[in-house]
Structure 1
Amino acid sequence: MSVYVRVNAGEVFEQIVTDGDITQMYPLSLVFVCVDDVEPVPLIGWHAVESGGVWHFSPPDAPLMTPEQLSAMVAAERFKREATGVFVDGLVIETTRDSQALIASTGLSAVLDPEYRCNFKTVTGFVEIGAAQIIDIAKAVRAHVQACFDRELTLLRSIEAGEYHDEMLAEGWPDSSSIPTADLK
């Protein structure tokens, strides 16, 4: 036995359980979708949207998002997480896009000149640091940002496979919770 839902105007219109060939039972102009592998099974009144040959269902009170919209939401979350900062050698370091660019150029100076020193602005103020600490900061920032992109890719693959669930958006990102909150004031 298989469970089918009939979709009409973006909504589940009826549900049918049969072991027959649905294409022989009803006119081909009616849209029936087999939901044997869909959890939870969509009910009458649920939203339904097809994208790239895959059907997505959501309860009537939940907004229905296409894979493209979900991907954009994941990218926005990654961008937000990317800028949460890192804690390196007792210093709270910004990881915004502007900060990443400045840190990368400072890191290049440190690689080119092992004696390089500079006044570096952290979240809590200026500190004088040398080449080795600059490189440590650059590596930590890069690792944090890369972990954010890696998590985004994992979520995008889940969306493509039809395995994405809303709670996944809050899970698996790099942890910035080790930054002392008193340092952020």
Structure 2
Amino acid sequence: MSIYARVYGEQVFELIETDGDITALYHPSMVWVCVDGIEPMPAAGWKAVEVDGAWQFSAPGLAVAPLPLAEVVAAERFRRESTGVVVEGLAIETTRDSQALIASTGLSAVLDPDYRCNFKTADGFVEIGAAQIITIAKSVRAHVQACFDREFALLRAIEAGEYHDEMLSQGWPDSLPPDPAELQ
């Protein structure tokens, strides 16, 4: 048996013990880290960061070796990119997997203007047509691109020596990060 920590948003979200292949048990977008032999054993709520391919864990209130600013900015962009958008009242996921599914659905809508499908939103399934699919695909792409544009601007500020820590929380597209308490 091995113990795995699920890491979400640079935090240990949960621990499980299994003798199965963790990559086969859960969706591949979930980050699972084997914590066998790590002392003290991390717990839910601990900070988790990957540094040079190795995971480091720290209890709340303890410092973990700081990441280079460019990595901090990239991690924030990825977090913001995955927060989702609301399009015509529909809550749309923007994880990497969701982006790929939306892009392929958008291609079907472009190829067939009469295309319709049951589309799963964050709130459940809805039936939508080609025009709405294209609107969703454009909105998701605009959200993701705005996140990359903000990352680029912050990297430029770092290079110019003009970066300040408070800039990391400013200028991102309008979407709220998921509340870890709601995911439990």
> Residues of 1 paired with 2:169 and 2:86: CA distance?
21
Change (3 A) 1:63 1:159: farther
Partner of 2:116: 117
- Cα distance in 1 between the residues matched to 2:64 and 2:168: 16
After TM superposition, give the deviation of residue 105 of structure 1 in Å. 0.2
Give runs of aligned pairs for residues 90-169 of structure 1, distance below 5 A.
Answer: 90-169=89-168
Q: Secondary structure at the match of 2:162?
A: coil
Q: Which residue identity does 2:70 align to in structure 1?
A: S
TM-score (norm 1): 0.59
* 1:64 Cα offset (Å): 9.4
Q: Which residue identity lines up with residue 76 of structure 2 in the other structure?
A: E
- 1:142-176 CA-to-partner distances (Å, cap 9, x unmatched) read 00000000000000000000111111000000011
What's the CA shift for 1:63?
9.4
Amino acid at match of 2:82: A
C-alpha distance in 1 between matches for 2:116 and 2:143: 24
1:125: how far off?
0.2
1:78 pairs with 2:65: no
Matches within 5 A, 1:59-70: 69-70=68-69
SS in 1 for 2:94: coil
Runs of 4+ in 1 over 2 A off after TM superposition: 62-66
- For 1:168 and 1:80, locate their aligned partners in 2 and report how far apart those are by CA, in whole Å: 15
Secondary structure, counterpart of 2:79 in structure 1: helix
Kindly, what percent of the aligned residue pairs are identical?
Answer: 78
Distance 1:65 1:162 in 2: 18
The 1-side partners of 2:74 and 2:123 are apart by: 29
Equivalent-residue separation in structure 2 for 1:77 and 1:131 (angstroms): 33
Matched, 1:171 2:153: no
In 1, the alpha carbon distance for the partners of 2:162 and 2:71 equals: 17
1:72-121 per-position Cα deviation (integer Å, ceiling 9, x unaligned): 11000000000110001110000000000000000000000000000000
TM-score by length of 2: 0.60
Which residue identity is paired with 1:133? Q
Query: Which structure 1 residue ranges, 5 or more long, are not aligned?
Result: 1-61
Alignment partners' CA distance in 1, 2:96 and 2:145: 13
> Of the two, which has the highest radius of gyration?
1
Q: CA RMSD in A?
A: 2.4
**Structure 2 gaps, min length 5:** 1-62
Aligned residues: 117
For 1:110 and 1:172, the matched residues in 2 are separated by: 32
